[in-house]
Structure formats: structure tokens, C-alpha cells
Structure 1
Amino acid sequence: MNRYKEIFQELEDKIKTGEFASGEKLPSENKLAQEYSVSRETIRKALVLLAEQGYIQKQQGKGSIILDIPTYDFPVSGLTSYHELTKTQHLPSITKVPVFHKGRICNEKEHHRLFPFNETNELYTIIRQRELSGEVVIIDKDYLDAEIIPDLTKDHASTSLYQYIEDSLKLEIGYAKKEITVEPITSEDQELMSLRPTDSCVVVVRSQVFLQDTRLFQYTESRHRIDKFKFVEFARRNKK
């Protein structure tokens, strides 16, 4: 890994854990260069990554100001797994896997228009309940191409699918196409989620996920209790 990326990750961890608090200034480029024994150019590259990810705002004459990073914020852009999010945001979470099977889905009801697979595909079908503070507030429904992602187990599903794909299968996850909607709750939501009597809708994030080589390997439908999460994206204006 490039040295500036390593420094970015170390500074990112310090911001997420509160060692550098929001509103404070990062040490100067000179101090960081001395601390990490690198050039100022290497530090600048790390700071550019921090700014692009929404952790800092550089102000002329004032240095790099650390921005507020609240918890329970789920990014719209990017491809971060639930396991990675709960780990980095220090969220106490439990995952249960009530459904895990392998086979074709020709007998299932019609899927959403984004569903990319047909009846000839052999798929892993996985439903995961995400529990935070004793309540199931997310249902993740995943379909994975069994030819591209072989030998999945229920243990992989209960920990991290992406860790298995990247670390064990040595595949590189590339990008995703996402759709976010607000929809009426279903009977399945009522059965699997900890809904309140006043709940009538959930936030649904549907994604087609591709490897770096452009092969589509996963369709996922993530259903969130509407009061628990903010879906955020950090945007930076680019003048033409």
C-alpha cells in the first residue's frame, strides 16, 4: 500500500475514535511530516483523501478543520459493508441469519425490476437480521451468483460476506448501482423487524454489485427502519 494511504487510514481512525475531535485542527503539514517521517507532499496526498471522504475542510491560513462525523449515518456512495460500518462506528450489533440456501429461484414471486438474475442462475439466497440495541432495525436480503462466489457458508453470512470474497476468494469488488426508495412495510418486514405500531414505511436500498472486472455477482435489498438512520453523502462543489 502507498505510504500516503497508510497515513490517511491512521488519521481516519484517530478521527473516528475521537482522538481528533470535530471542530479541532489537525497538526500542521510540517508536524505530520515529521511525525510520520515522510515528505510534505506525501502528507498533502493523505489530506486530500481525508477531504474527499468528508473528514476535513482545509481553510486558508487556518489549516485542516475536522468535520463532524455522527454515528448511525450510512453513506449513500461508496461500497462499505455493514460489518465494516459497525466496526468503524463502534456500533454494538448482532447479525442473525434466518434464511440461507442455495438453488434456483424460478418458483419465487416476481422481483423488483433491478433484480439481475434469471431462473437459470444458481444463487445463494440469504436473509440477515441486523440488531442494534436489542432491536432488529435492518433486514438485508442478498442473492449471490454461486458460480462466481462458491462455497459460501452461513458463518460467512453472519460475519462478513465481503471479507470472504476479498480475503479468501481473492476477488476485487469494484462498484455498485444503487436505488433508494421509501416503501410501505410488508408482512415480511413485520415478521422479521422490530417495528413500532406507528411505522408504515421503511427505507429500501437496492444494489447491483460488480467485481472490478465488471462481472455482476450480487443483488441486495436492504430494508431499514425509517427512524434509525440517516443516509448521507458528502458532496464537494467543483467549479467548471
Structure 2
Amino acid sequence: MFSISADKVAIIIDDMMQQIMKKSFEPGTKLPSENALAERYRVPRVTVRNALAKLEERGYIYSKQGKGRYLKDTSIQIELHLTGKTSFTDKMKRLGYDLTTHNIGCEKISYDAKIYQLLHVNEGEDVYKIGRIRYIQNEPIALHHSFVSAARFPTIAEDGPHIESMFAYYRLHGYQEFDSHKTLLSTTFPTLYEQEFLSCNSMVPLIIVESGCIDLNSKKVLEHTKILYRSDRFKYDITNI
């Protein structure tokens, strides 16, 4: 019985997703009632409710108490280059987006063999993590973590809580041209911490981009970066520019 019910839920989700993609529903449109959908798909009302709950978890629809469910407004689609020599801030400004950044803290991390190796730092030396939230049109779209060696930047503990652009910070220290190193792409689902900052639920996949930033002239490693992007807010251009 469980598998049959699950199959029916999946069929309803697939059909409604096709309608959403075909724009059969306009953003903000109220969806048919549970009773109407149950009659349309010839299933019990609880099956429809389960299907709608999953669509809501995935961020496609939302509920208004006592009024029903509605299709969310169209996501902001942003062309994002995952590799290259330009900072996130510069890319967004060049493309004309209304970008704001909030620093969410700077803290010394415990020893992490992977990060220490990527930064060419020895165990026992200090590494700091600087966190920033990126907003476009006042909507959170990305969570940035930059890992920086205190040996490379001795005042990072004091400076970190005020940094919004790492590239701007590096320029203040004499580094002018940058390149990325070993960019890795993966996916995950958000933790409670990440859900809070990115204003998303547990079923919205996140795109993780990890890379190293090096000074183009000296080839020194300046930072290791881990960025979590909301997958429902971007289209991706992964050309190397």
C-alpha cells in the first residue's frame, strides 16, 4: 500500500511540475483545492496533500493559512561564472545586479587537515574563517566562507569581522591580480544553520563551489573558499574566463 501511495504522489508531483514548467500557472496563482486535485487525479485527498507538501518543501509553492496554496514568484536567474579571476562582487556589479553583502563573523577554526594542506599551513598555525551572506534584491542567494592563514595576513583576526570583499582586502595588502585553483563542484542539502541564513528549507539543494585563490604574480595561496549557492536562484555558466 505504501509503494502504491508513493507512486501516486510521484505522479502528481511530476504532472504539476510539468504544468509549472510549461507556465500553465502564473506566479502568484492560487492552485486548485485539495478536493479538486483529488478528483482530478482520482486519489484520496491525503495523497494530494502529501504531493503538495513535497512541492512546498522544494520551494515551488507556498501556503496561506485558511486561503490555500499559491505558486511562488519566478526565481531570480543569475548568470554566474564559477571559475575565473574576478571576485563575486565584481562579477555581480558588472552584470548590473543589486548586490549587498553582510559579514556574519570571523573565527579561528580547529585543525582541518584538508584546509591546512590547501593553504600550505602547518599544524599549530592559526587559520580563520570569514563568513559573508550575499543578497541580490534583498534576497539571500549565497553563503561564502573564506579560510585564511594568519601567517599570511597577521591582522586577519581583527580585520575579519569587517571584511565584505576578500579581493578588496587582498588589494590593500599589495595583491592585485588573482586566479582560481582546483575548483570543485558538488551538491548538498542545507543544515539548519544554512537554512536560517539562506532563508530556504531542507529540501532546496545547494550548489557547493570550493576553490583556492592565488596571487597571479607570486603564485602564493591567499585563501581557500567554500561557497554555498541556492540552486533555485541561478543558472550556471562554468566557462573559464
* Offset, 1:113: 10
- Count of aligned pairs: 161
Which one has more relative contact order, counting CA pairs under 8 Å at least 6 apart?
A: 2
> Where does structure 1 differ by over 3 angstroms across 4 or more consecutive aligned residues?
110-119, 233-236
CA distance in 1, matches of 2:234, 2:116: 25
* Amino acid corresponding to residue 137 of structure 2 in structure 1: S
Give the gaps of 5 or more residues in structure 1.
1-70
SS in 2 for 1:76: strand
* Offset, 1:133: 2.0
- Cα deviation code 1:151-206 (max 9, x no counterpart): 34247512x2212212x21124442221011112222211221114752x100000
CA distance in 2, matches of 1:135, 1:114: 35
TM-score normalised by L of structure 1: 0.58
Name the residue aligned to 1:225. Answer: 230
1:181 to 177, 183, 186: 186
* Amino acid corresponding to residue 234 of structure 2 in structure 1: F
TM-score normalised by L of structure 2: 0.57
Could you say if the C-alpha distance between residues 111 and 192 of structure 1 is closer, same or farther in structure 2, counting changes exceeding 3 Å?
farther
Could you say if the C-alpha distance between residues 85 and 214 of structure 1 is closer, same or farther in structure 2, counting changes exceeding 3 Å?
same
Instruction: Say if 1:136 and 1:192, in contact at 8 Å, map to a contact too.
Output: yes
Give the gaps of 5 or more residues in structure 2.
1-76
Name the residue aligned to 2:34. Answer: none
CA distance in 2, matches of 1:126, 1:214: 22
Could you say if the C-alpha distance between residues 223 and 114 of structure 1 is closer, same or farther in structure 2, counting changes exceeding 3 Å?
farther
1:105 aligns with 2:103: no
* Larger Rg computed on CA atoms: 2
Name the residue aligned to 2:174. Answer: 170
CA distance in 2, matches of 1:77, 1:210: 13
Name the residue aligned to 2:19. Answer: none
> Which structure 2 residues correspond to residues 1-240 of structure 1 after superposition, within 5 A?
72-101=78-107, 103=108, 105-106=110-111, 116=119, 117=121, 119-152=123-156, 153-154=159-160, 157-158=163-164, 160-166=165-171, 168-176=172-180, 177-196=182-201, 198-199=203-204, 201-212=205-216, 213-234=218-239
Q: Is the helix fraction higher in 1 or 2?
A: 2
Could you say if the C-alpha distance between residues 77 and 204 of structure 1 is closer, same or farther in structure 2, counting changes exceeding 3 Å?
same
SS in 1 for 2:193: helix
CA distance in 2, matches of 1:137, 1:114: 29
CA distance in 2, matches of 1:219, 1:189: 19
CA distance in 2, matches of 1:196, 1:147: 38
Instruction: Say if 1:211 and 1:217, in contact at 8 Å, map to a contact too.
Output: yes
Identical residues among aligned pairs (%): 18
